[in-house]
Chain A
Amino acid sequence: MRGDADDLQLLRGVRDGDEAAFAELVMRHQGQLLRIAQVYVSSRALAEEVVQETWLGVIRGAERFEGRSSVKTWIFRILANIARTRAKKEARSIPFSSAAGPEEVDEPLLDPSRFQSAQDPAPNQWSAPPLAWPTPEDSLLTGEAREMLLKEIEKLPPAQREVVTLRDVQGWSSKEVCNALEISETNQRVLLHRGRTKLRAALEEYFGAVGAPGS
């Protein structure tokens, strides 16, 4: 991943009217902004509009950048503000700082019947253990399973969707995500855990790889 020092250099160029610097900043971040925008709004077309508007915000705001966050986080915040406004206009309203939203609390992550109950010989050990997935790694990384994971991300509650997208799809560090979303490290980890746990379970179901109870 390329460094923030380069981003800062480019943003200075943008401020000073350097067209090549702007083009490079766009090329560097556009793909990830497009994916992140899709966390908030429901269609690809709308996400593209949000990203366009974000860049206009960057052009206009470049001279006001104070360096209190990384350039990446600063651009992300512009995007998130625009996307939140758009999402509100859309039927699908997604509160941005939804990290502690009620829908996130105490939902079941993994079917409790996967573990032995207190009456069983080995409580809390697997009753239906996960089995190795049938496909080799390379085929997992292509095609259908990947598409399916993308759709499953969309089904996650908003805060989990944000964190999983930023951490696991975009490869942001936990610190970057906490800064960008203004959530605590613990909260971030809980959201990540819930999101990943559900995605794994969805893939497991897709592969049909669950051991028979008692196996």
Chain B
Amino acid sequence: MSPIAKQMSCAEVVALVTDYLEGRLSWGERRRFHRHLTGCDGCTAYLAQVKQVIRTLGHLPPEAIPQRALDELMAAFRDFHRG
């Protein structure tokens, strides 16, 4: 690579955002990624939004177990071990 690394474009940042979040960028790419973010409000917003989506997905409420289903399972368990 040339001593002056090529600037990363917005399209590249968008394409690499998951690799970035997964820690899969090389040291040099990561540096270019950060450098781009410093000067780009659009990409800064984009990254924040992807993170926001991830956080939201991780906060979906747990699904409740119907008591009836649990009762059935416990009965099946007893049957199995009795049989």
* B-contacting 9-mer, from A27-35, A69-77, A79-87, A97-105: A27-35
Task: Report if A149-B53 is in contact (Cβ < 8 Å); known contacts: A124-B10, A129-B41, A168-B58.
Answer: yes
Within 8 A of B (CB), among A199-214: 199-200, 203-204, 211
Tell me whether A193 and B18 are in contact (CB under 8 A): yes
Q: What's the Cα separation between A85 and B58 when bound, in Å?
A: 28
* B-contacting 9-mer, from A3-11, A88-96, A132-140: A132-140
Q: Is A145 an interface residue when CB atoms closer than 8 A count as contact?
A: yes
- CB-nearest residue of chain B to A170: B58
Tell me whether A124 and B50 are in contact (CB under 8 A): no
7 nearest A-B pairs in the assembled complex, by CB-CB distance: A129-B42, A124-B9, A193-B18, A17-B81, A31-B62, A168-B57, A34-B63
CB-defined contacts of B69 to chain A, threshold 8 Å: 48, 51-52
Tell me whether A124 and B59 are in contact (CB under 8 A): no
Cross-chain pair count, CB within 8 angstroms: 126
Tell me whether A126 and B60 are in contact (CB under 8 A): no
Judged by DSSP, the binding face of B is helix
Please pick, from B58, B80, B81, the residue contacting A169 in the complex, using a CB distance under 8 A.
B58
Please pick, from B19, B24, B49, B78, the residue contacting A200 in the complex, using a CB distance under 8 A.
B49
Judged by DSSP, the binding face of A is helix
Q: Is A155 an interface residue when CB atoms closer than 8 A count as contact?
A: no
Please pick, from B10, B24, B72, the residue contacting A115 in the complex, using a CB distance under 8 A.
B10
CB-defined contacts of A124 to chain B, threshold 8 Å: 9-12
Interchain nearest-CB distance for B35 vs A (Å): 14
Interface residues on B, range: 35 or more
CB-defined contacts of B10 to chain A, threshold 8 Å: 115, 124-126, 129
Q: Is B4 an interface residue when CB atoms closer than 8 A count as contact?
A: no
Tell me whether B63 and A35 are in contact (CB under 8 A): yes
Within 8 A of B (CB), among A52-80: 52, 55-56, 59-60
Interchain nearest-CB distance for A90 vs B (Å): 20
- CB-nearest residue of chain B to A125: B10
Interchain nearest-CB distance for A39 vs B (Å): 13
